[in-house]
Structure 1
Amino acid sequence: MFRSSFLAKRQADYNIWGYLPNIVRMKGMKMPISGSMDTGPDLAFVDCGIDASAGAGGGSGQVHSQNRREVVISGKRVKTVDVHAHCIVPEAAQLIDHPLEAPGLLWSNISDRLAQMDQSGIDVQALSINPYWYQAERDAVAEFIQVQNEALAEFCAPDQDRFVAFATAALQYPDLATKQVEQAVKTFGFRGIGVGGSVAGEELANPKFHPFWGKCEELGVLVFMHPLGTRELEPSGRLDGNGLLTNTIGNPLETTIALSHLIFEGTLDRFPGLKICASHGGGFLPSYANRSDAVITTFPDRVGAFPKKKPTEYIRGGQLYFDSIMFTEEGMRHLIAEARIDHVVLGTDYPFPWNTAPVDHVMSIPGLSDEDRIKILGGTAAKLLGIEG
């Protein structure tokens, strides 16, 4: 299946996180699993045979499997959908000597991944691959993407009730990427497209990418954006030192920059049907969105062409969606307040344990209705990705 080797230039400064030093290793990592919890009235979370609603009020739940956590809200079984789940095509990665440092990314043993999903209460993973190929030459990357998308489609086919995938594309060649998107959707049946937060140093709002965005809008597919870090800042040394700042700060910063350009450069206005889901809760943008509104009135002569709407309108129930990778109940509450309930979806960042109990985290947020929880846990993502209930 996998054709001739290509990509002569080794990209050793990449690893599975995006741009990070190769000294970072995540050997043998698995998603930690937490126990059951009190989920409040009218909600039951079934954890390996334990009805978490016992003594919690009017909730009701049933055990459908002794080995699979299932979410039941007000007597309704909820299909949970994780929009942020990493994987990698080993054969493709090996062709460019790309390090395989986190075994959880591999799919050589599907039973392990499914077991961890079952324990975590995840019904469906939407698989994506961090785009580490944006510097590859045209002929090489054309073959690479073909191989990679075929492999993704082949992996999902036997377990379509558990896996969907975001196709990959060579955005450094927008005309090629446009064709790859069309083939991925029409031939392979992909539900969406994955992109980085920039393309070899170029912003996604660059007009050269308009054909790509236009094709995504035409096909009605969801675009999942995952940052590659802020490589352009690294030579300055500002992100050196302790704290793994290239990831801790760099990843959400790149997402913030990318989304801001898409708003202020008019890309979202040009393609009003485009839908983008930003990872890591959209970086820093939702938490400080009102500054983007205020800059237009504070420095109207320095902003450039105004977007058609207030920047916050693209965030609040607009074209942008955000995964739930936040770290506190208050953080999630604020994201929901800024983005609106219909635009926040479950994300785990599998296999990396940023949040050790992502489903429980969503269910523990105070003030949400049953319908709100259903939307975040899977209802909204299922609509965006065409997943049947």
Structure 2
Amino acid sequence: MAKAPKGTIAIEEAVLNPDGIAWMAESATLFNPGQDASKAGSANHGHTPQLLDIHGARLAQMDAHGVEYMLLSLTSPGAQGEPDRAKARRLAADANDWLATQVAANPARFGAFASVSMHDAADAAAEARRAVRDLGMFGVMLNDYQVVAEGGNEEGKKYYDAPEFRPFWQAVDDLGVPVYMHPRYPPAKDLVPRTRYGDRKQILGAAVQFHLDLSMHLYALCSSGIFDLYPRLQVVAGHLGEGIPFNLWRADHWYNKPVKKATRPSKHDYSYYFTHNISITTSGDFSTAGLKFCIGAIGVDRCLFSIDYPYDTIEEAQDWWKTVDLPADEKEAVARGNAIRLFKLPLEL
């Protein structure tokens, strides 16, 4: 396949393997609250056709609007939404095998993130190694916390700042690939009446709930000391860093007070990790003022372009990007150069 002219590189771009249609349909009414809930189990999610497509309309839109390359990932929640350990492991492995064949059909335009089940750190590490070393994937995509079965119909959550996940982070560090932290809808137990979101479903999803939940997980990772153990480790967060860059001054101000500093698990404050270990992308947050603020807060080398297709359109993202008035070298870095360096993509700088 011929390579495309230099353009943008988009790195939070979702796909769905055909085997995933059933579990994807489970979140259809959360994405589209007007849909009949009684039909949620059989109805397709509104974006199913676009998620299934890679080489047709998606590629045509990339060509039409100047997207040079996409890093693809299984749409949220993927394996993180499966409470059964064995099913989650199979879900991730099958999705990785399918996505690797799709990328192999046009590696000049597409690369991929690995899916992993986070029920068990050893399982996650093994699948990450297989996906990167054997399938040629450029990183790991995690859809926030892992839902786990707790008995009966109850579902619990695992967060990756816990010590049990250090073998996973060690494996990723050894592989030298980034981990992309992506949001997800809450599990069923958080949607019943008189729970945090059960009576407030209007704030579910990308506008509010996604960044509220995922920002907590990112703060937890930064403050856990995991980046002190593995200082080369790199994590990426979309949607302009889930809002964290705009709160860094206040977060650091309190985290650095003596009463906190004496007992905190990490050596450094949040700004340190956001300038050494965390990168952010523009996925689904096409704000020029916001991007410029992030560049000022964490540095241009930590900011990357992204779209969030198909949940946002290629055309809208590219039309916005054309209006962004950054210095030419900074715009080139955000558009493509930073992604090539961070993910070690097989593209020319």
The answer to whether TM tops 0.5 is yes
- Return the letter of the residue paired with 2:10: D
More helix by share: 2
* Structure 1 residues 179-194: aligned runs within 5 Å: 179-194=126-141
2:171 paired with 1:215 = yes
Q: Which is further off, 77-86 or 273-282?
A: 77-86
CA contact (8 A) 1:296 1:303 kept: no
2:14 paired with 1:86 = yes
- Name the residue aligned to 1:117: 62
2:296 paired with 1:324 = no
- Name the residue aligned to 1:5: none
Match 1:142 to one of 67, 89, 109: 89
Give the count of matched residue pairs: 313
Match 1:377 to one of 323, 335, 341: 335
DSSP 3-state at the match of 2:128: helix
Pair 1:259–1:354, CA change in 2 (3 A)? farther
- Name the residue aligned to 1:158: 105
Per the TM alignment, residue 131 of structure 1 is displaced from its structure 2 partner at its CA by 3.1
Aligned-residue identity in percent? 23
DSSP 3-state at the match of 2:267: coil
CA contact (8 A) 2:10 2:307 kept: yes
Per the TM alignment, residue 286 of structure 1 is displaced from its structure 2 partner at its CA by 0.8
Per the TM alignment, residue 238 of structure 1 is displaced from its structure 2 partner at its CA by 4.4
Q: Which is further off, 167-176 or 232-241?
A: 232-241
Q: Which is further off, 190-199 or 92-101?
A: 92-101
- Name the residue aligned to 1:339: 298
TM-score (norm 1): 0.74
Match 1:285 to one of 241, 244, 266: 244
- Name the residue aligned to 2:37: none
Match 1:105 to one of 51, 54, 74: 51
Q: Which is further off, 335-344 or 225-234?
A: 225-234
Give deviations 1:165-212, integer Å, cap 9, x for gaps: 101101112111110011111111111110022122222211111111
Pair 1:114–1:189, CA change in 2 (3 A)? same
CA contact (8 A) 2:79 2:115 kept: no
Give deviations 1:263-319, integer Å, cap 9, x for gaps: 111112111111111011111211111112111244624873252222211113x11
Per the TM alignment, residue 114 of structure 1 is displaced from its structure 2 partner at its CA by 0.5
DSSP 3-state at the match of 2:70: strand
* Structure 1 residues 1-389: aligned runs within 5 Å: 78-94=6-22, 100-101=44-45, 102=47, 103-107=49-53, 110-129=55-74, 130-134=76-80, 135-200=82-147, 201-231=157-187, 234-235=191-192, 236-239=194-197, 240-241=199-200, 243-298=202-257, 300-301=259-260, 304-316=263-275, 318-325=276-283, 326-353=285-312, 357-366=316-325, 368-387=326-345, 388-389=347-348
- Return the letter of the residue paired with 1:187: D
| Greater Rg over alpha carbons, structure | 1
- Name the residue aligned to 1:13: none
CA contact (8 A) 1:230 1:246 kept: no
CA contact (8 A) 1:362 1:373 kept: no
CA distance in structure 2 between the aligned counterparts of 1:203 and 1:339, rounded to whole angstroms: 25
Per the TM alignment, residue 340 of structure 1 is displaced from its structure 2 partner at its CA by 0.9
Q: Please, which runs of 5 or more residues in structure 2 have no aligned partner?
A: 27-42, 148-156
Q: Please, which runs of 5 or more residues in structure 1 have no aligned partner?
A: 1-67, 71-76
CA distance in structure 2 between the aligned counterparts of 1:131 and 1:243, rounded to whole angstroms: 19
Q: CA RMSD in A?
A: 2.6
CA contact (8 A) 2:122 2:168 kept: yes
- Return the letter of the residue paired with 1:222: P
TM-score (norm 2): 0.82
